A and B are shown apart, each in its own frame.
Chain A
Amino acid sequence: MSKFRHSFLPTVGVQEKEMLTALGIKDIDELFSDIPSKFLLKRRLKIPNGLSESEVCEKVSHSLAQNWTPRKGMSFLGGGVWPHIIPEAIKNIVNRTEFLTAYTPYQAEISQGMLQALFEYQSLMAELIELPIVNASMYDWASALGEAALLTSRITTRDSFLIPHLISPSRRAVLQTYTQPAGVKVLDIGYNRRTGQLNVEHLKELLDTKTAGVYFENPGYMGVLQDDVDAIVDIVHDAGALVVVGIDPISLGVIRPPGDYDADIVIGEGQPLGSPMNMGGPLLGIFASKDERKILRQLPGRIIGLTSTQEGDERGFVMTIQAREQHIRREKATSNICSNQAHSAITAAVYLSLLGPHGITEVGEKILQLRHYAEEQLHAVDGLKAPLFEAPHFKEFGVSIEKEQESTPPTIRDVLARIQECGILAGIPLDQSFPELGEAALVCVTETHTQEEIDKLSVGFQQALEGKP
C-alpha cells in the first residue's frame, strides 16, 4: 500500500486494502504485471514535486505577473478576439458545476439542462443570423471556415473556394490546413483599393464551374462592411456555388443578418458574446445554414433537436441527426469533430438572453458611435491616414502612416512601440501580413472604451508621429 496522500484521491488506507484484497493482490503494481517490463518506466517523471493549492495559485499568479497587461480600456487590439463587456450574471451561471463539469449530453434524460441550454444557443443565434439551423458549436471562426469550405465542396462536388484577399492571416492559414488534404483550392478575390471591399469584377472573373463556394466577411478583417451583398449573392448563386458569410455576432443588432440576403452558410466568432479574451481561447465557432436537406446532411458538428417523450407528449431535447458524425459514420463522417465549445455556446446563450433585442441593438449602436469618434480623432492626427479605407465600418478600422516626400516617417512598429510606452496597445501591425497597405495597423474600438481613453489613443498617435517619447 502506498503512503502517498493527495486531496484529490479518495482511495486510501483500509479502503485501498479492501479493494486489493477483493482482487486477490497485495500491491497495485501487480495490476501492471502484463506490461512487458522493458516498457515500464524505471525512474520518476521529471515533473516537479506537487504543491499545495495555495502554493499553486501563488506560483501561477507570480508567473502571470510577468505579463504586462494594459489598464482597462487601454487596449485597442482586435483582429479576431475583442474586448467586450461581460455581464457578471453570465459568470455565475456558466460556472455552476452542473454545466461546467458535465460531459457531452449523451444520456439525454439526465442531461436536459445542458441540452435545452444548447438548443437555446442554437435558437438565439438562429434569430440573430436569420437562418433556421445552427450547430452546437465549432472550435473557432478559423476552423469553422475550414469546415465550411469542405462542406461546399462536398455539396457541389467542385473543388475551388474563393476568399477575400483581406482576411485574417491566421484564419487563412487554418483554412489552408483544412482544405489542402481534400484537394480544395483556395483562391483570392481582390479588393477595391479605395474601399477595401470585394472587387466584384474580379469575383466574376474567378467564378467558374469549379467554384464550390464564395466566402466573404461582414464586417471584413479591416472592419469594412460590404454593402452590395444582394448583387454578390446573386452572382455567386448564378454560378451554381454556395455563399458563405463570416460575421461578428455582436454587430447583428445593427447590421443586416446574412439570412436576409440569402447566404447559404454563415460562420463567425462568438467570443464577443460573453467570453473573455483569454489570450485567444477558448473561442466559439459559429456555424449556421439554410434548412436544405443537401446542406443539413453534410453539416459538421453536433446538433440538438427538440422532440417528445416516447410515451406521451412531454417536450424534451436530444442530440440528433447523428448519422453524420464520427462515432456513427467513422471514416464517412462529415467531420471528425467530437468535443466542441459547448461551454462557450451556453455563455453566448446567456449573453443573448440578457441583452435581448434592445441590448444587442444598443451595444451595436454604441460601438458605432465610439468607433466613429475614434476614427474622427485619429483622422485629425497629422501624418496619419484614418480610416485606411473609405467605406462604412463596424468596430475596427485601419490606419496608416502617410508618406511625405521630404521626411522619412517612422515605421508603424516604431509608432506602436512608442504608444505602448504610454501604456496603450494601439493596434495590430499589418506591415508583415499586408505589406501592400504600407505602414498600417488595425485599430479596434468597442463599448468598453470611453472618450477619455480614445483621446489618449489619439494623443498617443500624435506624439509618436511627432517623434516625442
Chain B
Amino acid sequence: MKFRQAKWNEPLIFERSREGAIGYSLPDPSKTIKKLLPNPLSTIPKNLRRKVQPSLPELSEPEVVQHFTRLSQMNYSIDLGLYPLGSCTMKYNPPMNEEIIKDPNFAQAHPHQDCTTLQGILKILFELQQWLSEITGMDQHSLQPAAGAQGELAGVLIIRAFHADQGELEIRRQIIVPDSAHGTNPASAAMAGFDVVVVPSNKLGQIDIQALESAVSNQTAGLMLTNPNTLGLFEQEIETIASIVHKAGGLLYYDGANLNANLGRVRPGDMGFDIIHTNLHKTFATPHGGGGPGAGPVGVKQRLAEYLPVPVISFDGTQYYTDNTRPKSIGRLHGFHGNAAVLLKSYAYIIRMGWEGLHAVSNHAVLNANYLMKKIESIKGFSIPFAPGVWRKHEVVVSANPLERDTGVNARDVAKALLDRGLHAPTFYFPSIVEEALMIEPTETFSKAELDRFIKALTEISEQAYSDPNLVHRAPQNTAITRLDEVKAAHPRTMTLSWRMLQQRDQEI
C-alpha cells in the first residue's frame, strides 16, 4: 500500500475573499418590525456602535464548503486507520451517536428549562452517573467536568475540600505524583493550590515503595495515580500504595485516562482509590473532534460525595432533578451541565456494548497492545524498557534508544516516517523516564491486519535507518507538508498567531 495524503495548497480563507460574495441567508423580520425600527443601530449609543465592518472574508456557500472540505482531506483521523497515541485511547466513534444527538428533544433543549420538561435527558444522565460508578467501583458521580483535565481539577479540589473540612488543609500542602504521570496531574494539583512532590519509578516501572514511604508525611494531601500506569504496567503494589497514602491521612486519586484496560476486569474503587475522573472521549468512544470537546466526569467514594461539583443529577422516586444543594460542594466547573452531547453519546455507547461488550473491549485492547509489544521486541533498534516479560495492559512504551545510538534516527524520526506510511504516530518522548520513548496504544478498534501494517512499517523504518538514515531524517514526504519550523513559529520576531498579526507584520515591513 502506497500512501499519499491529499495536498491542496489551500490558501487561507481570507485570501479567497471576493468583495460582495455572501454565503448566508437570513429571514427578514416582518414589515411592521422593520418599520418600527428602520435603523437598528440607532438603538445603540454612538460610542458603542461598530464603525467599520469586521474584516471577515466574503465567500459564497459553495466556496466555503469547498475550502473546508479540502482542509478536511489534509487531516488524518480514526476513520482512516490506526491512531496509536499512547494514553489517548483513539478508538472507533460510532456514527449512530452523531445521529442520536440530532434529536430535537435534545439538540433544542435549553439548560434553563424547568426539570419537569427535561425528564428524558435527566434520566439518561442519572443512569450514566450510576453506570460510571458501577464500572469504576465508586459510589457517586458528577458529570460537570468538560474534559479530563477539568475532571482532575475537580478531583484535586475534592481532596482540598476534604482536608479543609478536617481542619488540616494548612498542613496538608502536598500532592504526590509519580515521575511517569500525565502532565495534567501536576498542573491540576498546582491549580488547586498544592505543591507537587514527585516520586520515582523503580526498575520494574512501578512506583518505588520506599521512595513513596519517605515522601508521605502529615503534609500529604493525596496521591495521583493511574493504573495501569503510563508504561502500560499494572501497579502490582497498589494495595500497599493505597495503605501508605491512607495511613498518612492522604486520599488516593485515579487518573482515568488509562481506564480502557480495566473494563469489567478491575475497578479503581476496589483498589483503594477514593476519587476518579473518566475521559469519556477516550474509553467511552466519543469523537475527539481534533482536540475536544471531551468530558471528564468525576466520581468518589461515599465519604467524599458531599464535595462533588454541583449540580449532580438526582432522583426522588418520581422525578429526576438537578441537585444543587450540597453545602460542602467544591462548586461548579461548567456554566451548565458539562458537555451534555458528549455525555449522551457515551450513554448510547454503553448500552450498545452492554456489560459483555465492555469486558471484550478491554480484552481486545490489551491483546492488541501485547501483540504489538511482542512483535516490536524483535525489530532491530527498538527495545522494551522496564519489566521484560511482564504483560502490558492498554499500552506499551517502546524505546528507540538503540536505533538512535546505532543510526542517529530518533523517536521523532520514527514517528514522522510512520506518517509517510499512512499511519498516525504514537505519542513520543513521553513518559520522560524512557529515553526515545514511543508510547503506543492501539485500542480494541483495529484488526490484526492493521496492527501488522504498523509492524511492517516499523520494520521498514528500522531497515531504512540502518541502510540510509538520511531517508528517515527527511520523513515525512507523503503527507500534505514536510517537517515544519517550530522555532520560527514560536520566535517573537516571526510568531504569527492570526491573519491579523500577519497583516500587521506585512504593514511594518
Contacts and interface: CB of A to CB of B under 8 A. Distances in A.
B485 to A, nearest CB: 5
Contact of A35 (B88, B188, B236, B424): B236
Given A15-B447, A143-B146, A354-B64, A56 B105 contact: no
A40 B263 CA distance: 11
Contacts of B85: 103, 106
Interface in A30-87: 30-36, 38-41, 44-51, 53, 56-57, 59-61, 63-70, 75, 77, 79-81, 83, 85, 87
A67 B374 contact: no
Given A256-B50, A327-B430, A372-B36, A113 B98 contact: no
B332 A66 contact: no
Contact of B238 (A39, A79, A291, A311): A39
Interface string B114-128: 101111110110000
B496 A307 contact: yes
A170 interface: yes
A353 interface: yes
Nearest to B44: A392
B48 interface: yes
Contacts of A143: 146, 150, 333-335
B234 interface: yes
Interface in B393-415: 393, 415
Which residue among B94, B339, B361 has the maximum number of chain A CB atoms within 10 Å of its CB?
A: B339
Contact of B68 (A77, A93, A305): A93
B53 interface: yes
A49 B356 CA distance: 7
Contacts, number: 731
B166 interface: no
B448 interface: yes
Contacts of A65: 105, 120
Contact of B480 (A109, A127, A335, A376): A109
A106 B473 CA distance: 18
B508 interface: no
B431 to A, nearest CB: 11
B120 A308 contact: no
Contacts of B58: 356-358
A256 B266 contact: no
Interface in A316-344: 316-318, 320-323, 325-333, 335-344
Contact of A343 (B48, B153, B289, B424): B289
A344 B134 CA distance: 31
Contact of B96 (A53, A63, A75, A333): A53
Contacts of A49: 354-356
Interface stretch (A19-27, A156-164, A205-213, A458-466): A19-27
Interface stretch (B74-82, B246-254, B297-305, B457-465): B74-82
A75 B455 CA distance: 56
B483 A109 contact: yes
A165 interface: no
B113 A370 contact: no
Contacts of B149: 326, 336-339
Contacts of A8: 92, 94, 352-353, 357, 444-445
B335 A168 contact: yes
Nearest to A311: B482
B291 A47 contact: no
B290 interface: yes
A192 interface: no
A176 to B, nearest CB: 6
B356 A50 contact: yes
B495 interface: yes
Given A310-B485, A372-B43, A31 B367 contact: yes
A339 B277 CA distance: 14
Contact of B121 (A67, A330, A353): A67
Given A126-B499, A229-B48, A339-B291, A109 B481 contact: yes
Contacts of A306: 489, 496-497, 502
A50 B61 CA distance: 42
Interface in B464-493: 476, 479-486, 488-490, 492
Given A19-B371, A109-B482, A353-B57, A81 B336 contact: yes
A104 interface: yes
A41 B290 contact: no
B368 interface: yes
B106 interface: yes
A93 B72 contact: yes
Q: How large is the interface on B (under 10, 10 to 19, 20 to 34, 35 or more residues)?
A: 35 or more
A30 B232 CA distance: 16
Contacts of B342: 281-282
B55 interface: yes
Given A6-B357, A65-B120, A373-B29, A307 B485 contact: yes
B290 A343 contact: yes
A340 B112 CA distance: 24
Interface string B270-311: 110000000101000001111111100000000000000100
A53 B352 contact: yes
Interface stretch (A133-141, A235-243, A402-410): A133-141
A356 B236 contact: no
A359 B333 contact: no
A384 interface: no
Interface string B332-356: 1111111111111001101111111
A41 B363 contact: no
A305 B496 contact: yes
Given A69-B104, A100-B77, A113 B239 contact: no
B264 interface: yes
Interface string B7-18: 000101110010
Nearest to B427: A106
A103 B291 contact: yes
A30 B94 CA distance: 30
Interface string B44-68: 1101111101111111010011011
B184 A326 contact: yes
Interface in B338-392: 338-344, 347-348, 350-361, 363-364, 366-368, 370-371, 374-375, 390-391
A263 to B, nearest CB: 13
B37 A18 contact: no
Nearest to A376: B36
B64 A350 contact: yes
A252 interface: yes
A105 B123 contact: no
Given A48-B351, A369-B36, A41 B502 contact: no
B191 A47 contact: no
B192 interface: yes
A182 B146 contact: no
A31 B370 contact: yes
B209 interface: no
A435 interface: no
A117 B331 contact: no
Given A41-B266, A106-B427, A139-B334, A366 B292 contact: no
A119 to B, nearest CB: 7
Interface string A93-127: 10111111111111111111110111110111011
A333 B184 CA distance: 9
A6 B119 contact: no
6 contacts: A23-B367, A39-B271, A137-B292, A168-B335, A305-B489, A312-B482
The 3 closest A-B pairs by CB, nearest first: A280-B336, A50-B354, A343-B289
Given A343-B291, A350-B68, 7 more contacts: A44-B264, A109-B480, A112-B480, A253-B50, A339-B288, A352-B56, A359-B23
